[in-house]
Amino acid sequence: MKRHDDTGRDPYWTRHPTEGGSCARREPTLWAASVAEAEQRGPLGAAELRTFAERGCLALDSVVPRRAVEALGREVAALAASRAPTVIREAGSDAVRSVFAIHRTGPFATFAQHPRVRAIARQILGSAVYVHQSRINLKAGSEGRAFAWHSDFETWHAEDGMPRMRALSVALALTDHTLANGPLRWVPGSHLTFLRCVGRTPAAHHRQSLRQQRRGLPARSAVRALIGEGGVQRALGPAGSLFLFDCNLLHGSGPNGSTEPRHTAFIVFNSQRNRLRAPFGGTRPRPRFLADRA
User: Considering only CA atoms, which of 184, 180, 185, 186 is closest in space to residue 261?
Assistant: 180
What is the rounded distance in angstroms from the CA atom of residue 139 to the CA atom of residue 227?
25
What is the rounded distance in angstroms from the CA atom of residue 287 to the CA atom of residue 160?
9
Q: Indicate the domain borders of the chain.
A: 22-271
0.85 exceeded by pTM = yes
Contact 152, 159 (CB under 8 A): no
What pLDDT score does 226 carry?
98
> pLDDT 10s digit of each residue in the chain, 294 long?
444 444 457 999 999 999 999 999 999 999 999 999 999 999 999 999 999 999 999 999 989 998 999 999 999 999 999 989 999 998 888 889 999 999 998 999 999 999 999 999 999 999 999 999 999 999 988 888 899 999 999 999 999 999 999 999 999 999 999 999 999 999 999 999 999 999 999 888 898 898 888 778 999 999 999 999 999 999 999 999 999 999 999 999 999 999 999 999 999 999 999 999 999 999 999 999 999 987
| Number of helices and strands in the chain (H, E) | 8, 13
Contact 130, 292 (CB under 8 A): yes
Render pLDDT for 104-136 as a digit per residue (tens, 0 to 9).
Answer: 989 999 999 999 999 999 999 999 999 999 999
What pLDDT score does 3 carry?
42
Q: What's the DSSP call for residue 198? A: B
User: Considering only CA atoms, which of 109, 108, 117 is closest in space to residue 42?
Assistant: 117
CATH fold for domain 22-271: Jelly Rolls (2.60.120)
3-state secondary structure of 40: coil
The number of angstroms, rounded, from the C-alpha of 5 to the middle of its chain's C-alpha atoms is 27
What pLDDT score does 2 carry?
42
- Burial class (CB within 10 angstroms; exposed 0-12, middle 13-18, buried 19+) of 185: middle
Mean of the per-residue pLDDT values of the chain? 93
User: Considering only CA atoms, which of 100, 108, 104, 103 is closest in space to residue 73?
Assistant: 108
Which is it for strands 129-139 and 242-246: parallel, antiparallel or unpaired?
unpaired
Contact 30, 168 (CB under 8 A): no
Which is it for strands 262-271 and 167-173: parallel, antiparallel or unpaired?
antiparallel
